[in-house]
Amino acid sequence: MLNGIHHVAIICSDYEKSKDFYTRVLGFKIVAENYRADRDSFKLDLALANGTQIELFSFSGAPQRPSFPEAQGLRHLAFTVESVAAVSQYLTSLGVEVEPIRVDEYTGKKFTFFSDPDGLPLELYQQS
């Protein structure tokens, strides 16, 4: 029935900062960018080469996401990568704080976590 995930929606606190992070740092391509005057809000559609998309929204006055301790709901967003070590090193070179690389005890695959500008937990997961 379900064929995959089309997109994940993220509400950010600083639209330009998050737009830069997801495009320049993570390499998402802009599909569409719309300003919705009735909501005083931007909606930015971003995509990876495989078609996975993120909808980035700006809503003034949106409350911060409770993360620590973790709250119920979406825990994190994970991206598959060829090399966790290489992408971690790249992110670190751009000033992004990346946790030490760990190994999944069930799959034997490497993974690590970092955060977007609003503290949203993001994961790098070894593809093969």
Q: For Cα atoms 105, 107, 110, give the angle at the middle one, nearest 5 degrees.
A: 75
Q: Which residues of the chain have pLDDT under 50?
A: none
CATH topology of domain 76-128: 2,3-Dihydroxybiphenyl 1,2-Dioxygenase; domain 1 (3.10.180)
User: Of 61, 77, 69, which Cα lies nearest the Cα of 10?
Assistant: 77
Q: State whether CATH 3.10.180.10 applies to domain 1-60.
A: yes
For residue 2, what pLDDT is reported?
A: 67
Segments of the chain assigned to CATH 3.10.180.10: 1-60, 76-128
